[in-house]
């Protein structure tokens, strides 16, 4: 595959064909938190140089697959041989920085057992370029990577958000293998990676916003096309997907956007009315039972961010309870308008949060907290002012009964299942969970019913009997319809 000059166009953005491409699994805090795990050390895999593609090219989503995902990344191109280099000298061995798209096929990931040979090694799965940024002109701690899909910004992060600095990756790799001129290091992707399909156009750009002249790689453009050749199952395992692969390929789904108008409607709609409308639609297990509000007069409206605790076991507490565990990740990353919903199995014999975490959620703009367990520092949490629903107060720490296990999964809270992104509404009566696809229909029906019930209450207050009025028979319905029409 060469042009008229004998050069291979796949490597037009590089000084030549790389001897090896080394990629890192998890490196950005935003991506690690999305996956629910923060590695203590970097880990790596290799990609073949045959996977390299230039800007402006295409990549096939193979026949019979569905989960081709893009990953915008910063690529480092080694300039001088690096073997057992100290951290403080590591950046000197990087000649250039450019943009990369570390494409991966999740349909093949499970059978690769972490090697990513097939899932990440396909032809065209490593677009690089289009330009090289001189590494000597930029601060490795102040680079930015952005990715767009069909013109919509999907990823935007900087190397300030890395768990492991770029020089550290170079130094670490050099103690295990020799990095040679032309080798490429793919330094990981931030949150926002997701699935693309035929016709989608992915663009990735790496720049240094704080450097003089804002050096940039330019936009690396790749168009997805549909492959026509199926895999031969007699030669090896066929593509297969499950819920885990789908969830990780798509990334954490963004919470449904509650417009100002929809939020205002939900603030007016009583939980009892919302529950009744859900029941009319066949959903009878939508209330979070056994929880009471700290602030009965405060209304809770938001989208669910979930956190799951498992029963306490000493060895698990030691392994999962310390450091930046799942509980801390949930409170550190909760977004404005989200409600942290905690599965504590209805166990009230310890706290599931205290005043510091309540304050953290409040500062980040969380809409509230719902837990079917206890709350420590109850008075101090109440003083924070954020709406909190719990099973009551308890002075014991979390580790007495619980291990913080995972975030952003379906949880069971107060007898109902809550998925990330579900709409959560609470008032003095309790908490209800509404599937996002039903929320507008349900709230409109609830408000209409509230108006009707208000009119009925006026008739009863005026002395009319409830027989035929509640519920309304045809005569009263006609009177009500006439009243509404006259307004």
Domain boundary among 250, 280, 295: 250
Same domain flag for 220 and 355: no
pLDDT digits (tens, 9 = 90+) for 66-84: 999 999 999 999 999 999 9
Same domain flag for 40 and 183: yes
pLDDT at 477 over 70: yes
Same domain flag for 39 and 166: yes
Same domain flag for 316 and 402: yes
Q: What is the percent of the chain where pLDDT is above 90?
A: 78
Per-residue confidence band for 332, with pLDDT thresholds at 50, 70 and 90: confident
Side-chain-side CA neighbours of residue 246 (13 Å) = 6
Range 356-359, long-range pairs (CB < 8 A, 24+ positions): 357/327, 357/328, 357/331, 358/384, 358/386, 358/388, 359/384
Rounded to an integer, the average pLDDT of 243-247 is 75
Query: Looking at residue 28, what DSSP letter applies?
Result: B
**Structure pTM?**
0.58
Query: Looking at residue 61, what DSSP letter applies?
Result: E
Same domain flag for 171 and 217: yes
| Residue of higher predicted confidence among 239 and 359 | 359
- pLDDT of res. 136: 96
Same domain flag for 14 and 162: yes
Lowest mean pLDDT among 143-157, 214-228, 314-328, 431-445: 314-328
Asked, for residue 398, whether it belongs to a domain, the answer is yes
Q: Indicate the annotated binding residues.
A: 354-357, 376-377
Same domain flag for 346 and 416: yes
- pLDDT of res. 424: 97
pLDDT digits (tens, 9 = 90+) for 234-243: 888 888 887 6
pLDDT at 267 over 70: yes
Same domain flag for 328 and 379: yes
- pLDDT of res. 45: 95
Asked, for residue 462, whether it belongs to a domain, the answer is no
| Residue of higher predicted confidence among 111 and 343 | 343
Rounded to an integer, the average pLDDT of 84-93 is 97
Q: Indicate the annotated binding residues for substrate.
A: 354-357, 376
Asked, for residue 196, whether it belongs to a domain, the answer is yes
Asked, for residue 218, whether it belongs to a domain, the answer is yes
DSSP of 292-329: EESSTTS-EEEEEEEEEEEE--HHHHHHHSSSS-HHHH
pLDDT digits (tens, 9 = 90+) for 387-414: 999 999 999 998 899 999 988 889 999 9
Asked, for residue 460, whether it belongs to a domain, the answer is no
pLDDT digits (tens, 9 = 90+) for 269-307: 999 999 999 999 999 999 999 999 999 999 999 999 999
Cα–Cα–Cα angle for 185, 191, 194, rounded to 5 degrees = 95
Domain boundary among 250, 285, 305: 250
Asked, for residue 388, whether it belongs to a domain, the answer is yes
| CATH number, domain containing residue 204 | 3.90.850.10
Number of separate domains in the chain: 2
Boundaries of domain holding 397? 260-440
Q: Indicate the annotated binding residues for Mg(2+).
A: 377
Asked, for residue 354, whether it belongs to a domain, the answer is yes
Q: Which value, in Å, is the radius of gyration of the alpha carbons in the chain?
A: 28
Per-residue confidence band for 254, with pLDDT thresholds at 50, 70 and 90: very low
Same domain flag for 87 and 201: yes
Same domain flag for 222 and 289: no
Residue among 54, 53, 52, 46 at smallest CA distance from 20 = 46
Same domain flag for 367 and 235: no
Asked, for residue 458, whether it belongs to a domain, the answer is no
Same domain flag for 180 and 150: yes
CA distance 111 to 36: 22
- pLDDT of res. 252: 55
pLDDT at 255 over 80: no
Rounded to an integer, the average pLDDT of 317-337 is 84
Per-residue confidence band for 36, with pLDDT thresholds at 50, 70 and 90: low
CA distance 131 to 206: 10
Cα 167 to chain centroid, rounded = 27
| CATH number, domain containing residue 404 | 3.50.30.40
Rounded to an integer, the average pLDDT of 100-106 is 96
């Amino acid at each position: 595959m060469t042009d008229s000059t004998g050069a291979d166009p796949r490597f037009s953005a590089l000084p030549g064909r790389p001897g090896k491409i080394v990629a890192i699994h998890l490196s950005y805090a935003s991506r690690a938190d999305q996956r629910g795990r923060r590695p203590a050390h970097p880990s790596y895999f290799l990609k073949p140089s045959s996977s390299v593609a230039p800007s402006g090219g295409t990549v096939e989503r193979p026949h019979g697959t569905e989960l081709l995902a893009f990953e915008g990344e910063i690529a480092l191109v080694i300039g001088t041989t690096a073997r057992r280099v100290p951290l403080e000298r590591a950046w000197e061995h990087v000649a250039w920085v450019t943009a990369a798209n570390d494409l991966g096929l999740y349909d093949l990931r499970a059978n690769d057992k972490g090697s990513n040979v097939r899932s990440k090694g396909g032809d065209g799965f490593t677009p690089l370029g289009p330009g090289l940024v001189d590494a000597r002109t930029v601060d490795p701690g102040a680079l930015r990577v952005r990715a767009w899909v069909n013109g919509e910004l999907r990823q935007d992060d900087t190397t300030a958000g890395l768990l492991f600095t770029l020089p550290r990756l170079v130094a670490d790799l050099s103690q295990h293998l020799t990095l040679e001129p032309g080798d490429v290091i793919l330094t990981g992707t931030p949150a926002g990676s997701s699935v693309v399909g035929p016709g989608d156009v992915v663009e990735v750009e790496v720049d240094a916003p704080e450097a003089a002249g804002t050096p940039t790689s330019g936009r690396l453009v790749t168009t997805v096309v549909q492959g026509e050749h199926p895999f031969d199952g007699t030669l090896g395992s066929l593509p297969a997907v499950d819920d885990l692969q789908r969830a990780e390929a798509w990334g954490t789904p963004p919470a449904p956007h509650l417009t100002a108008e929809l939020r205002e409607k939900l603030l007016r709609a009583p939980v009892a009315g919302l529950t009744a409308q859900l029941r009319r639609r066949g959903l009878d297990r939508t209330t979070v039972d056994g929880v009471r509000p700290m602030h009965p007069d405060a209304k809770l409206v938001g989208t669910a961010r979930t956190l799951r605790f498992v029963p306490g076991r000493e060895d698990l507490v030691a392994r999962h309870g310390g450091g930046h565990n799942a509980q801390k990740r949930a409170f550190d990353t909760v977004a404005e308008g989200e409600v942290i919903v905690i599965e504590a199995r209805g166990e009230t014999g310890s706290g599931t949060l205290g005043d510091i975490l309540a304050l953290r959620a409040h500062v980040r703009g969380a809409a509230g907290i719902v837990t079917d367990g206890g709350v420590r520092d109850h008075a101090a949490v109440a003083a924070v002012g954020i709406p909190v629903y719990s099973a009551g107060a308890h002075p014991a720490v979390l580790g007495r009964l619980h291990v913080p296990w995972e975030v952003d999964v379906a949880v069971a809270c107060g007898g109902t299942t809550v998925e990330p992104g579900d709409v959560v509404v609470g008032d003095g009566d309790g908490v209800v969970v509404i599937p996002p696809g039903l929320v507008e229909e349900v709230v409109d029906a609830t408000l209409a019913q509230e108006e009707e019930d208000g009119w009925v209450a006026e008739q009863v207050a005026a002395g009319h009997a409830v027989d035929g009025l509640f519920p309304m028979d045809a005569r009263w319905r006609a009177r009500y319809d006439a009243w509404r029409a006259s307004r």
